[in-house]
Chain A
Amino acid sequence: MKGKHFSSLIALTTLAIAFSVQAHDPKEHMKDAEKPDCAAMKNMDHSKMDMSDPMMQAMMKQCMSEMNHDMSTSNVAPDETQSEQQKSEHQH
């Protein structure tokens, strides 16, 4: 009987520890963190978006860096792209 109580206590303690591990610093999740998949955002009609909606603002924040990166690479002139490629080949 005592053994049963003891194993219940152990099980509860283990569960509590497991939950306290989940009760975490957000940084603990960074190692297996997903990146936002912003492909859907790019295809959206931006004129129809309500930019005063906090949800839309949050999504834009998440995808801003990726969208800026895409825009900057698409704005690069073809000869600049070529020279970038040559540079990276040279580095390798």
Chain B
Amino acid sequence: MPTLTTYIKCLVVTAVIALAGGGLFLYSGFYPMGADVPHNQLTYWLLETLRERSVARAASDIVIPQDLNTSERLLAGGADYNDMCSGCHLKPGKTDSDFTLGLYPAPPNLTMSSDEHGHEHGVETDNNDAAIQRQFWIIKHGIKASGMPAWAPGHDDERIWNMVAFLQRLPELSPQQYQVLTARGADDAGHH
């Protein structure tokens, strides 16, 4: 009959073999790092779960401003979205860009609602406040190794909230409405 010591020995040996195997695979260079080769399902699930749980935890304490849905925020946030985000996250009337075709994971198309673009945000997005907190946190802090930069170094919280405000209305905009709302040319001094 195997004793407790034998069990522990077996566990230690298994752990050492797993670590050595993992290390060998890591240093072998066999894992494809090119953005044109998708992750396998396990890696994708691990990374996505890590990302979503981390963002949900970090964003849960963010306080949403009461005045998010105002014309001033829409105009300020719209112009910034057009300059900083539309290349990857698209604008009404566009279905792809060089960035959406080449980046992996592909950036979500924010002109569509989260249900439409098929990008899972986790259970938290059933609650609209959690989705808004999530958007603010991601714009502010970015996502590691995804192509999404942290905008906080050059943009204060108010400016980021303006972009979040614009994102709430973006899926319902036509190309003409988008053009009018995001143009800086009229009288931009009042928007910032």
Cβ of B83 within 8 Å of any chain A Cβ, yes or no, is: yes
Q: A57–B84 Cα gap in the complex (Å)? A: 24
Q: Is the CB of B151 within 8 A of A23?
A: yes
Q: A35–B79 Cα gap in the complex (Å)? A: 11
Closest A residue to B149 using CB positions? A19
Q: Is the CB of B71 within 8 A of A26?
A: no
Choose among A26, A57, A62 the residue with the greatest number of B CB atoms under 10 Å from its CB.
Answer: A62
Q: Is the CB of A40 within 8 A of B180?
A: yes
* Chain B 138-192 interface residues, beta-carbon cutoff 8 Å to A: 149, 151, 153-155, 169, 172-173, 176-177, 179-181, 183-188, 191-192
Q: Is the CB of B71 within 8 A of A57?
A: yes
Q: Is the CB of B80 within 8 A of A23?
A: no
User: Residues of A within 8 Å of B, CB-based: how many?
Assistant: 27
Q: A37–B181 Cα gap in the complex (Å)? A: 10
Q: Please classify the interface of chain A as helix (H, G, I), strand (E, B), loop, or mixed, using the class held by over half of its residues.
A: helix
| Residues on B with beta carbons closer than 8 Å to the beta carbon of A36 | 179-181, 183, 185-186
| Residues on B with beta carbons closer than 8 Å to the beta carbon of A30 | 184, 188
Q: Is the CB of B149 within 8 A of A54?
A: no
Cβ of B75 within 8 Å of any chain A Cβ, yes or no, is: yes
Closest B residue to A63 using CB positions? B180
Q: A65–B155 Cα gap in the complex (Å)? A: 29
Q: A59–B72 Cα gap in the complex (Å)? A: 10
Interface residues of A (CB under 8 A from B): 19-20, 22-24, 26-27, 29-30, 33-38, 40-41, 54-55, 57-59, 61-63, 65-66
The 3 residue pairs across chains A and B that have the minimum distance between CB atoms:
A23-B154, A35-B185, A58-B71
